[in-house]
Structure 1
Amino acid sequence: MTTLTPDAPQAERATRTYPAYSRGLLARLLLNREAAVIVALVVVFLYALGNVQYFDGPLTVYNLLKEYAPILLMALPMTLIIITGEIDLSVASTLGASAAVTGVLVVEHDLSVPVAALVAIGVGALLGALNGFFVAYVGLPSLAVTIGSLALYRGLAEGLIQDKRVSGFPGELRSWPTDRIGDTQYPNVVLVIVVLAVLFGLLLHFTSFGRSVFEVGLSDEAARFSGVDVARTKLILFTLSGAVAALAGVYVALKSNSVATDTGSGFELKVIAGVLLGGVSIFGGRGALHGVIAGVLLIAVLNSALQLDGQGSEVIQIIIGLLLVGSVIASNFLPRIRALLPRRAVTPEVTTKTPDTGDHTRKVAQ
């Protein structure tokens, strides 16, 4: 702690500040990308309610959540992976392979749906672990690894199904994920999403493992010197990504009552778009799970509203693409805006020593 005397130079008595607390609580809560995405979601939703025909119908929220449930599921572990500075482009192919495993086991081998689902989730975890092994222990770039496994796992699904479509799941369990919760407009799969979102949120923001995820994203080397097992962290994250993608594959298979070779094709782009739109830095080291959930829901609301408004798929893709690019550009301006705001000086207590009174503690004068 700094020791000052009455005769110390003025420079030594300069006020010390702590940048992390130099802005007010309201500014810290509102001037960030997550808050901006949540505000955008509310504005777009309210605008669609008042201006898009049929958007306020009883089936709108139900269909929106039912269709985007697999995207929400896969976005949860993808958030942690991108925060570490890596990426997983194979999630949709893992979903397709796991859906194919579920369909083959249930329809062709008469396994029960719960047993087939557990096997499929295990297969998905293994596929994710394979990605994680090459990234974490072999040292290959995740972009190259998951581009390769994207094609490999899609080929696995095609090998299992061939050129036919597997259909005919048992009705007693097939409809549960899409059945409504009581008299609400929310499908049962929302319960699964909420539970996993809470678990991943606690893991990322309230555990030492979550702190290590951010440390790895900021600097692999610094994380190693801090005692973080970087390779194990990445392996766990890719394994979780594969398992959750497989769970999403089981859901898609039951929802559609069929599995084809192209099941889930293109989902990986929606997942990554939702994660980046939700405020996660593509360079790693930054992000929050509530922003990602809002980002995925914003894409879902935009997609639903534009479809009901009669817009073609090309217009929808252009608007969502512009929104994503704009969110990335905006991330460069938020720090500049925050830098222009007045900062509060946080005055620490320091020990002073005088010849007459000895040691006592006081605050440094500003």
Structure 2
Amino acid sequence: MTATAPSPAPDTRTARTYKPYASPLWRRVLLNREAAVIALLLIVIAVATAVVPNFDSPLTTTYLLRDVAPILLIALPMTLIIITEEIDLSVASIVGLTSVITGILTQAGWPLPVAAITAILVGTLAGVINGALVTAVGLPSLAVTIGTLALFRGIAVGLLGTTAVTDFPEFWTDLAKDNIPGTPIPGIMIPFAVLAIAFAVVLHFTPFGRSLYAIGLNKEAAAFSGVDVGRAKFLLFVLSGTVSGFAGVYFTLLYGSARGDNATGMELAVIAAVLLGGVSIFGGRGALHGVIAGVLLIGILGSALRLAGVTSDIINIITGVLLVLSVVSSSLLAWLRRRRISAIGKKKGRSAAAPPSS
């Protein structure tokens, strides 16, 4: 009598899939925070065009894009920083400091391009200070950048006091205000587009960008997998300082004034736009196209309300409500997702424990 080999047990394992790609393509593209922000942006544009007088004029477009350009620029590195679960609150103070440096050096007779490059290098140095304190010393970025916010702003105000430098070469101030020929789009949108493409490629299509998401999700696991967490964060703070320095030079030439209090409070507008654009304050999630839409949404909403005669206090309240809703909705969606995953796990557990039917 020959023994028969036992039949192999059926393979009940399920294939592991990377969660963001477990859904159909159309759902991943259309049903996310970024798509919702873009849809809201289009609705606001449509309503404002139909209801608000002069909103659709080329001059409104020009002034709107000029005003949001510094925020758009600074939001690029801020997105990467928040994705790693850090924050930089000193960006507006760096704008003010580099504005003052540009004004003082120009007043001293330096050619404006040299003064501008020096100011951007000062912004880079400010980013180096932030990055070193966070990565080398190990201090929390929130505490560090609150401190450097006051430090850089204090230096800026101390250098100029209550005075302002307004004597800049007309060629450079006109260049900052000029539009792309034949369009109402300011020329500053060209360097912004170049930077936006570069940041998007780095964040979404390179190993370095994927490592930033890994750091935000779990920095210890990222370090064990070979990511140099300290080096990556240091580089982001340096980039933030450099871009903020460039934004400071543009801000100075656009408004023709170098003052120590320039751009006061801009850091809040930047962070609000980044969070509204779908970047999680807890790190590990976000996309640049959502952030750009968030900046434009806040800018267009503010412009439309001002044209409609709404006061700046009410506009600030509305912006604050949008920010709170964006943070609350992100946390609520994460909680609902965890509940759903937990329910699915319990259901699978009960199915596996159930005895087979005869």
TM-score (norm 1): 0.88
Equivalent residue, structure 2, for 1:345: none
CA distance in 1, matches of 2:243, 2:125: 12
C-alpha distance in structure 1 between counterparts of 2:338 and 2:307, whole Å: 38
Q: How far, CA to CA, are the matches of 2:102 and 2:72 in structure 1?
A: 21
Deviation at 1:22, TM superposition (A): 3.0
Change in 2 beyond 3 A, CA 1:24/1:121: same
Q: Shift of the alpha carbon at 1:58?
A: 2.1
Cα distance change on mapping 1:17 and 1:128 into 2, 3 Å = closer
Which one-letter code corresponds to 1:308 in the other structure?
L
Higher normalized helix content (fraction of residues): 2
Structure 2 CA distance for aligned equivalents of residues 16 and 188 of structure 1 = 51
Task: Give yes or no for contact 2:48–2:304 (8 Å, CA) kept in 1.
Answer: yes
Q: Which residue of 2 aligns with 1:185?
A: 184
Q: Which residue of 2 aligns with 1:28?
A: 28
Q: For residues 285 and 149 of structure 2, what CA distance do their matches in structure 1 show?
A: 26
What does residue 207 of structure 1 align with?
206
Match of 2:296 in 1: 297
Higher strand share: 1
Letter in 2 for 1:177: A
Report the CA distance between 1:147 and its aligned residue. Answer: 0.5
Establish whether residue 271 from structure 1 lines up as the match of residue 243 from structure 2. no
Shift of 1:15: 4.9
Deviation at 1:40, TM superposition (A): 0.6
Partner of 1:321: 320
With over 3 angstroms needed to count, the CA separation of the structure-2 counterparts of 1:180 and 1:94, relative to structure 1, is: same
Q: Structure 2: how far apart are the matches of 1:92 and 1:207? A: 29
Give yes or no for contact 1:31–1:338 (8 Å, CA) kept in 2: no
Partner of 1:73: 73
- Within-5 A mapping of 1:1-366: 7-10=7-10, 12-13=11-12, 15-16=14-15, 18=17, 19-107=19-107, 109-334=108-333, 336=336
Q: Residues 277 and 292 of structure 2 are in contact (CA less than 8 Å); yes or no, is this contact kept in structure 1?
A: yes
In 2, Cα distance between equivalents of 1:22 and 1:207: 22
- Count of aligned residue pairs for this structure pair: 335
Note if contact 1:31-1:334 (Cα within 8 Å) is conserved in structure 2. Answer: no
Please report how far the alpha carbon of residue 166 of structure 1 lies from its aligned counterpart in structure 2 after TM superposition: 0.8
Q: Report deviation, 1:190.
A: 0.6
Contact 1:179–1:187, Cα closer than 8 Å, also in 2? yes
Which residue number corresponds to residue 347 of structure 2? none
- Does 128-137 or 329-338 show the bigger shift? 329-338
Superposed CA deviations along residues 230-253 of structure 1, whole A, max 9, x for unmatched, are: 111111100000000010000011
Quickly say closer, same or farther: Cα 1:21–1:322, change in 2 above 3 A. Answer: same
Partner in structure 1 of residue 352 of structure 2: none
Q: Partners of 1:191 and 1:322 in 2: how far apart? A: 32
Q: In 1, are the aligned partners of 2:134 and 2:144 still within 8 Å (CA)?
A: yes
CA contact (8 A) 2:20 2:28 kept: no
**What are the superposed Cα offsets for residues 252-307 of structure 1, whole Å, 9 maximum, x if unpaired?**
11011111121010100000000000000101111111110000000001100111
Structure 2 residue matching 1:180: 3-state secondary structure: coil
CA deviation string 1:113-157 (max 9, x = no partner): 111111011000000110000001100011110001001001111
SS in 2 for 1:182: coil
Preserved contact between residue 200 and residue 288 of structure 2 (Cα < 8 Å) = yes
User: Which shifted more, 25-34 or 319-328?
Assistant: 319-328
1:175 counterpart SS class: helix
Partners of 1:212 and 1:196 in 2: CA distance = 20
Maintained 8 Å contact 1:220/1:230: yes
Q: Structure 1, unaligned stretches of length 5 or more?
A: 342-366
| Cα distance in 1 between the residues matched to 2:318 and 2:263 | 22
**C-alpha distance in 1, partners of 2:6/2:39?**
52
Structure 2 vs 1, CA of residues 132 and 14 (structure 1 numbering), >3 Å: closer, same or farther? closer
Q: Percent identity?
A: 53
How much does 1:9 deviate? 3.3
Secondary structure, in 3 states, of the residue corresponding to 2:58?
coil
In the alignment, what sits opposite 1:348? Answer: none
Q: Tell me, in whole angstroms, the C-alpha distance in 2 between the residues paired with 1:15 and 1:236.
A: 40
TM-superposition CA deviations, 1:166-197 (whole Å, max 9, x none): 11100011211210100100010010110110
Deviation at 1:329, TM superposition (A): 2.5
Distance 1:164 1:75 in 2: 29
CA distance in 1, matches of 2:156, 2:16: 58
Q: CA deviation at 1:20?
A: 4.1
- Shift of residue 17 of structure 1? 5.6
Q: Is the 8 A contact 1:178 1:187 kept in 2?
A: yes
CA shift digits 1:297-327 (9 cap, x unpaired): 0000110011111111121111111112222
Relative to structure 1, the CA distance from residue 31 to residue 337 in structure 2 (aligned partners, 3 Å threshold; closer, same or farther) is farther
* 3-state SS in 2 of match to 1:259: coil
Match of 1:346 in 2: none
Q: Does the 8 A contact of 1:32 with 1:334 survive in 2?
A: no
Q: CA RMSD in A?
A: 1.9
- Tell me if the contact between 2:79 and 2:279 (Cα under 8 Å) persists in the aligned partners: yes
After TM superposition, the score normalised by the length of structure 2 is 0.90
CA distance in 2: counterparts of 1:127 and 1:14, whole angstroms: 53
- Contact 2:99 2:260 (8 Å CA) reproduced: no
2: CA distance, partners of 1:6 / 1:123: 75
